[in-house]
Amino acid sequence: MNAYELVAGKSIDSLRQVERPAKELGAHEVRVKLSAAAINFRDLMIADGNYGIPAGQVVVPLSDGAGEVVEMGSEVVRVKKGDHVIVGFWPRWLDGQIAPEKISAQFGAGPDGTLAEQLVTDENALTIAPAGLSFAEAATIACAGVTAWNALFVRGGLKPGASVLILGTGGVSIWALQLAQAAGLRSIITSSSDEKLARARALGASETINYVKTPEWQDEVKRLTNGRGVDLVIEVGGKGTMKRSIEATRLGGTIVVVGGRAAAEGAAVEPGVLIGGAKTLAGMMVGSRQMQEDLISFIETTGIRPVIDRSYAFADAPAAFRHAAKGAFGKVVIDVG
């Protein structure tokens, strides 16, 4: 079968198309003929050697993919031939609280990933794709979609009518915007681009702020919320945005710490602003299969169609990685089938 390999720490330039032998199936394993795979910032971190994978390790990249079940081991019960399935981010985190053994493996970071024509995996790693979505759309769910779901409704615990500040217009953020809109939340979203902010408004953003033109954007968030601040921030900026995000949060509110996309200013967070504001900084890592199934139900009920900035042919995978590195509006997907 055709696949790509990437050398951890050797940059996107190390991506190579290769021919690999098809794997044998174990009793609880399923062969998925992949149709689409999606890129996450994690995959760029692996390429750049910033993800804790030993430099020089060769991986079949990407965690996220969707396709069709073509073969099953003798004991498989969760799926059947012909099912359209999504590959989960944490194959061992099925339900409940996060725990070390549940996050001990992830596709494309050791176990072979989804930038290949086929994936052989334990049946537990799979969920049935939402009815009505294309494979490309379904491929965006497992990492970015589940992260946004967990951040808003599980870790973040938001209720309808609450307010959320979303930073930037990347994969997690646009998923969060779509979920917020569908759930009746008030969403304020930032971007470096007015054109992207116009697209965010078209998706239902309540208010938008250009963080380049308004570098003190936390003041604008406070102004928009009558001085109160938002209930929750989805923090994807990291060191470069954390202090402002905390300031933009209401008394007793939560900052869900998701990522580090902003250039780091290195400014330390003063404990006093959390204590005096009774604010919670909550780290998180994607989510469980149960969260993915809850999200899939929500997608089917609300009719959300995930935003794909661009889909690339398999042969153009390196160009897809470069697009993602520049910063896409929503997701970058690769057509694998």
Ligand X SMILES: NC(=O)c1ccc[n+]([C@@H]2O[C@H](COP(=O)([O-])OP(=O)(O)OC[C@H]3O[C@@H](n4cnc5c(N)ncnc54)[C@H](OP(=O)(O)O)[C@@H]3O)[C@@H](O)[C@H]2O)c1
In the complex with ligand X, which residue's Cβ is closer, 108 or 171?
Answer: 171
How many residues touch ligand X (CB under 6 A)?
Answer: 34
For the segment 20-49, give every residue that binds ligand X (CB under 6 A). Answer: 40-42
Q: Which amino acid is at 224?
A: L
Among 61, 91, 156, 168, binds ligand X (CB under 6 A): 168
Structural contact between residues 63 and 109, judged by C-beta atoms closer than 8 angstroms:
yes
Q: What binding mask, one character per residue, do residues 132-151 give for ligand X by CB under 6 A, x or -?
A: -----------xx--x----
How many CB atoms neighbour CB 25 within 10 A? Answer: 16
Part of the chain binding ligand X (CB under 6 A), chosen from 121-129, 131-139, 161-169, 310-318: 161-169
Closest residue to ligand X in the complex (CB): 170
Candidates 5-13, 20-28, 111-119, 280-288: pick the segment binding ligand X (CB under 6 A): 280-288
Complex with ligand X: residue 25 or 203, whichever CB lies closer: 203
Q: How far is the CB of 289 from ligand X (least distance, A)?
A: 15
When the beta carbons of 72 and 333 are compared against ligand X, the nearer one is 333
Name which position in 171, 229, 253, 306 contacts ligand X (CB under 6 A): 171
Closest to 288 measured CA to CA, from 143, 133, 138, 78: 143
Give CA separation, 76 vs 64, 72, 87, 280, in Å. Answer: 22, 6, 16, 42
Scan residues 174-193 and list those touching ligand X (CB under 6 A): 190-193
Read off φ and ψ for residue 104, nearest 5 degrees: -85, 0
Residue 84 in contact with residue 34, Cβ under 8 Å?
A: no
Q: What is the amino acid identity at position 76?
A: V
CB of 175 to ligand X, least distance (A): 8
Residues 224-263 that bind ligand X (CB under 6 A): 236-237, 240-241, 258-262
**CB 18 → ligand X: shortest distance, Å?**
26
Min. distance of Cβ 22 from ligand X in angstroms?
A: 30
Give 136 or 286: the residue with its C-beta nearer to ligand X: 286
For the bound state, the minimum distance from the C-beta of residue 209 to ligand X, rounded and expressed in Å, comes to 10
Mark residues 292-331: x for contact with ligand X by CB under 6 A, - for none.
--------------------------------x--xx---
Min dist CB 38 to ligand X, Å, is 9
**H or E element: which one contains 5?**
strand 2-7
The pairing of beta strand 186-191 with beta strand 64-72: unpaired
211 binds ligand X (CB under 6 A): yes
| Minimum CB distance to ligand X smaller for 136 or for 324 | 324
Nearest approach in angstroms of CB 269 to ligand X is 16
Calculate the CA 267 to chain-centre distance. 26
The CB-of-51 to ligand X minimum distance in angstroms stands at: 9
Residues 6+ apart with CB under 8 A from 100: none
Binding site for ligand X (CB under 6 A): 40-42, 143-144, 147, 167-173, 190-193, 196, 211, 236-237, 240-241, 258-262, 284-286, 324, 327-328
